[in-house]
Amino acid sequence: MLLDLRNAPQIKAAQRRHVRLLRRYPHAAEAFTVAQAITASWWDEPWPEETLWPDRLRLTAPGNNLAWRGAARDAVTYPEAVTLATLLADPGVQQRLLDGAGRHQPHTPADVPGLVDELARRLERPWIADRLRAVTTGPLNAWVRACVRTRAGHKPKTQSMWRVSPSHRPVPISRLLEDIRPGDGKPVQPNPPAAPDTAAAAAKGFARGLRHARAYAAEHGSLCAPSTAREEGFAVGLWLANQRAAGPELAPERAAALHALDPWWNPPWNLWWQRIYHRAQAHVEAGHPLAPELGFPGTPEGLGEWLYDQCTDYQRLHPQQQRLLTDIGITPERARAAQPRRKNLKAARRTALDHARAYAARHGHLCAPTSARQDGFTIGKWLHNQRVRARRGQLDPAVNRTLTGLDPWWNPPWPTDWQRGHHIAHAAVTAGTPLDPQAGFRNFDDRTGQWLYEQYAAYDRLQPGQQELLALLGITGPAASIAVPNPATRHAALETGLHYARAWAAEHHSLDLPRTVQHGGFPLGRWLARQRHQANVHRERFDTPWPHEEHFARIDPYWNPPWGMQWQRRYQAARAQLPHGHHLAPEQGFPGTPDWTGQWLYEQC
């Protein structure tokens, strides 16, 4: 199929401009590839304002059927592709794009109006600016984000800035012609052999995920699902996270399907911000308008504080974040007049203590980890703050009395992790579980059994109060030497590993052993490798000895030498092969030593 270019002088002029472009900019070829992808994405858009391309198509293609339309796509759009490539490759344009975006990642081309206006002016299509401002996906949006991400401008560019993802690459003309049948019903050329059905499987998987995402959006009003969210057993949160990871490289039709469910399913800011915003939006839609100038009365405490933080940081927010806040009544003027939310300290204290009572009733103690939550309340963090206040002498006596009444050991002088372990063990013993320390505490779950052995092994180092609490479990000083650890543990305590390390060293006189070695059923080699790694990481980060270094050094001073274990193993092997009382003679070539031992000793010299 031949195109007649005699009546299209714009194409010939574009060829001359293309040559000048390739000579002027080092990344002109890559810019033209991106520009071709952009113009190809516009080719099938139903834009009634576009009149230049249909006229050019009539002048270059003798026919007006789909075959000629497909064959002429690249030729018809060629002048605009060259113009667009000239714009994209211009470092000045890139720098103005960065200046317009500021410190934010653009969500749509509307966030960089300067680029959109410049593009419309150079293409001589004023109407296209409004069309492009509404685009949320596609090769142009991907290039804008890549330009901002790589901080291009007048700095050296990276190849990632010019990458066109497979979903944005234009369909080759040959494939378009294969899919179009002429009037006689015969294909233009034989169909290629069938490819593996990977595309169909991917489409089926996306359709399944989209179905669950639609159900999640109908229930929650958005797609800002945490990665742990599930819908009818389907991990919709993880699926959405994978779609977000694709970013602007996600296929346009898939991005459009998710955009139809939630326009802000993949915002350029933190997803946590978007979740809290939806809470504020629901609060307003429930008939509770916001009053920033009065300190956001009527809002939950955390939400009111968050809204005030947005007002104080208003000028630093993304332009689209500012627009979203305007939608719920926080305009720039009202943001400047915002007052901090007034806290009702008594009500907040009552609420926290109610949650503490509920947690104690459920768990039997108040030694909650900092990540613990009770009916959505961060009880672990709140209790940690109260302990800090108590140790500084700043805790309200009434709060202290209430918490002590719920759990006398809510603020122990030892780590709360130890106290929590004691509560778990005490509950098991009270329920009738026998200790049986000689059998490795096999009647308890793995972690509790390890905790119990650790108390037996470290009994003499515990505080008197801890020893008194252990007596409630039946653990006393005289019995501390009879306990043995369970070698089949998956959560080995330090004392468990040290027990088997001492046993190995007593037999082999060092802790130099391969990673695969087990001793008494315990994976001692793998455990020691982890301890060495932790010790080395600690030394690199803090430039101080590892806290447990002394325990291992007592067993073997060279358990983790600074010169590495490979040299140490060869040294131990050489030492083991030398007869007792053998005197080395380096000047004579180490006579009387095995070949490899003598060679290794010579290399050290």
pLDDT in tens, 73-123: 888 889 999 999 999 999 898 888 888 888 788 888 888 899 999 999 999
Higher pLDDT, 358 or 164: 358
Average pLDDT score over residue span 373-380:
89
- pTM equals 0.53
- Residues facing 234 on adjacent strands: 231
Q: Which of 58-67, 287-296, 455-464 has the lowest mean pLDDT?
A: 58-67
* pLDDT at site 521: 86
Cα–Cα distance for residue pair 282/19, rounded to 1 Å: 57
Structure tokens that stand for 550 in this block: 């002394």
Average pLDDT score over residue span 228-240:
91
* pLDDT at site 127: 93
Average pLDDT score over residue span 420-444:
86
DSSP of 107-134? SSGGG-HHHHHHHHHHHT-TTHHHHHHT
Average pLDDT score over residue span 500-504:
88
Average pLDDT score over residue span 139-150:
86
Question: 131 to each of 37, 135, 319, 370, how far by Cα in Å?
Answer: 17, 7, 19, 50
> What digits encode the pLDDT tens for the residues 277-288?
999 999 999 999
* pLDDT > 90? residue 166: no
* pLDDT at site 201: 83
Query: At a CB cut-off of 8 Å and minimum separation 6, what does 102 contact?
Result: none
Q: Would you give the distance in Å from CA 54 to the centre of its chain? A: 47
Average pLDDT score over residue span 360-366:
92
* pLDDT > 60? residue 487: yes
Query: At a CB cut-off of 8 Å and minimum separation 6, what does 241 contact?
Result: 227
Average pLDDT score over residue span 4-25:
87
* pLDDT at site 186: 45
Cα–Cα distance for residue pair 286/535, rounded to 1 Å: 55
* pLDDT at site 63: 62
* pLDDT > 90? residue 482: no
Which residues in 473-503 are b (16+ Cβ under 10 Å) and which e? bebeeeebeebbbbbebeebbbbbbbbbbee
* pLDDT > 60? residue 196: no
Cα–Cα distance for residue pair 330/323, rounded to 1 Å: 9
* pLDDT at site 35: 93
DSSP of 54-102? HHHHHHH-S--SHHHHHHTHHHHTHHHHHHHHHHHH-HHHHHHHHHHHT
Query: At a CB cut-off of 8 Å and minimum separation 6, what does 405 contact?
Result: none
- pLDDT confidence bin for 579, thresholds 50/70/90: low
Say whether 377 sits in a helix, a strand or coil.
strand
* pLDDT at site 187: 43
Average pLDDT score over residue span 577-585:
67
Average pLDDT score over residue span 525-545:
85
Using CB atoms within 10 A of its CB, is residue 460 exposed (0-12), middle (13-18) or buried (19+)? exposed
How many of the other CB atoms lie within 10 Å of CB of 519? 18
- pLDDT confidence bin for 308, thresholds 50/70/90: very high
* pLDDT at site 189: 45
% of the chain residues with pLDDT over 90: 35
Q: At what angle do helices 78-89 and 9-24 cross, to 10 degrees?
A: 20
Cα–Cα distance for residue pair 192/175, rounded to 1 Å: 10
Ranges 25-34, 248-257, 491-500, most confident: 25-34
Which residues in 213-251 are b (16+ Cβ under 10 Å) and which e? bbebbeebebbbbeeebebeebbbbebbeebeeebbbbb
- pLDDT confidence bin for 191, thresholds 50/70/90: very low
Say whether 234 sits in a helix, a strand or coil.
strand
Cα–Cα distance for residue pair 237/230, rounded to 1 Å: 6
Which residues in 557-589 are b (16+ Cβ under 10 Å) and which e? eebbeeeebeebebbbebeeebeeeeeeeeeee
Q: Would you give the distance in Å from CA 45 to the centre of its chain? A: 36
- Cα dihedral 499, 505, 508, 511, rounded to 10, equals 100
* pLDDT at site 67: 60
* pLDDT at site 185: 40
> What digits encode the pLDDT tens for the residues 325-353?
999 999 999 999 999 887 777 888 899 99
Say whether 375 sits in a helix, a strand or coil.
coil
CA neighbor of 330 nearest in space, from 315, 345, 343, 342: 315
Average pLDDT score over residue span 192-212:
75
Handedness of CA 393, 395, 396, 401 (dihedral sign): negative
- Residues facing 377 on adjacent strands: 374
Cα–Cα distance for residue pair 341/307, rounded to 1 Å: 9
* pLDDT at site 31: 92
Cα–Cα distance for residue pair 339/305, rounded to 1 Å: 10
